[in-house]
Amino acid sequence: MFDGLKDKLNDFREDVEESAEAAAEEADSESADVDTESSTPESGAAAEGRAAEAEAAGASEADEADDSGEEPSTFKRAKAFATGRIIIEEEDLEEPLWELEMALLESDVEMSVAEEILDTVEEKMLGETRKQVETTGELVEEALHDALLDVISVGQFDFEQRIAEADKPVTLVFTGVNGVGKTTSIAKLSEWLADRGYSSVMANGDTYRAGANEQIQEHADVLDRKLITHEQGGDPAAVIYDGVEYAEANDLDVVLGDTAGRLHTSNDLMAQLEKIDRVVDPDMTLFVDEAVAGQDAVNRAQEFNDAAEIDGTVLTKADADSSGGAAISIAYVTGKPILFLGTGQGYEDIERFDPEDLVEQLLGE
């Protein structure tokens, strides 16, 4: 999952490491040439003493450069290198950051998200030194980790805790465009909830699409769940309201309400969502889209959030996505978290989205 982006992030780490260390070696070589030209022969003991003094001075001046924020000179950089330190300068990052920007955009990361990642990486690395016990690669990895986590974890909350603490029944309404896996995601989430001891009822608010009742009924039958439906063409808000009443009467924990696939520009369908909000007052509205849709999924999430105020996102087909652009971008763009990833065809193939796990996966070996 997201292997393409993982490879590009690793390329950036290697590029910075190569650039910074090559520059440091060059500075060390230039400094050595100057010392050779200006020096006179010394005894072995005197030479050793000068080397020790230079090492101490190099460490001290490198620390001073870090504290003051001043741009290190070639001489200071060489001294830092002599003591096992490498100082990251702007020219070390220029080309690798450009390459990283292109890699992020090619991976369908939204432009503002890519810029935020680049700014954070540069801020955390510029002027930094790495000591002997670290590597430049580890310094890059730490900066990437923090930058990615900052954008991915926007709005994140504990979904299961919210279910546990909410008054029952909890009503969840699912929305999104046609064909992205809303109905299957509802079935998967019903099973996910059951595994954690929560009962649920499904309510089919997709009342206009031919075959919608039959599709969700198949899932309900397999999972042995109750399904609330009305005749085709009925009022979606009334169906989900009936689902809530059924859950209250039968002491069920969660109502899972399907809705018709729509575009944010479909005025009639968006009006249906508004009516559902008024009549049912759902606890959460979840936007569903495909991870493989990349930038399109990001754009649609933003448009749906603007039109209908979503509470979180479910990304389907995450297992088939090598780019990772939607997973990285949606939370930052909407201010609402990704809550679940669909990772396969089975009912068990859904997992809670964990930003830290995703970052570790992207930066892992």
CB atoms near residue 2 (< 10 Å):
21
pLDDT for the residue 51: 43
Span 122-138, pLDDT tens digits: 888 776 555 544 666 77
Mean pLDDT is lowest, of 47-56, 78-87, 114-123, 176-185, for 47-56
Taking a C-beta distance cutoff of 8 angstroms, is the pair 178, 264 a contact? no
Q: Mean pLDDT in the chain?
A: 81
Q: Within this chain, do residues 312 and 183 fall inside the same structural domain, yes or no?
A: yes
**Domain boundary at 125, 152, 179, which?**
152
pLDDT for the residue 69: 46
H-run or E-run covering 313? strand 312-316
**Domain boundary at 137, 152, 167, which?**
152
Span 7-33, pLDDT tens digits: 888 888 777 777 766 655 565 465 455
Structure tokens at 235: 């009022």
Q: Within this chain, do residues 198 and 284 fall inside the same structural domain, yes or no?
A: yes
Q: Within this chain, do residues 164 and 146 fall inside the same structural domain, yes or no?
A: no
Residue 46 has pLDDT above 50, yes or no: no
Structure tokens at 150: 């900052």
Q: Within this chain, do residues 336 and 226 fall inside the same structural domain, yes or no?
A: yes
Q: Within this chain, do residues 138 and 190 fall inside the same structural domain, yes or no?
A: no
Question: What is the tally of structural domains in the chain?
Answer: 2
pLDDT for the residue 155: 92
Q: Within this chain, do residues 97 and 180 fall inside the same structural domain, yes or no?
A: no
Span 217-253, pLDDT tens digits: 999 999 999 999 998 888 899 999 999 999 999 999 9
Could you give the 3-state DSSP secondary structure of residue 340?
strand
Q: Within this chain, do residues 280 and 312 fall inside the same structural domain, yes or no?
A: yes
Q: Within this chain, do residues 133 and 272 fall inside the same structural domain, yes or no?
A: no
Q: Within this chain, do residues 189 and 238 fall inside the same structural domain, yes or no?
A: yes
Q: 98 is in which domain, residue-wise?
A: 3-152
d(CA 62, CA 68): 10
- Which residues lie across from 229 on neighbouring strands? none
CATH number at residue 112: 1.20.120.140
Q: Would 270 be classed as within a structural domain?
A: yes
Residue type, 152: I
Residue 62 has pLDDT above 50, yes or no: no
pLDDT for the residue 20: 63
Q: Would 365 be classed as within a structural domain?
A: no
- 281 — alpha (psi -120 to 50), left (phi > 0) or beta? left
- 255 — alpha (psi -120 to 50), left (phi > 0) or beta? beta
Q: 92 pLDDT band (50/70/90 cuts)? A: confident
What mean pLDDT comes out for the span 308-312? 88
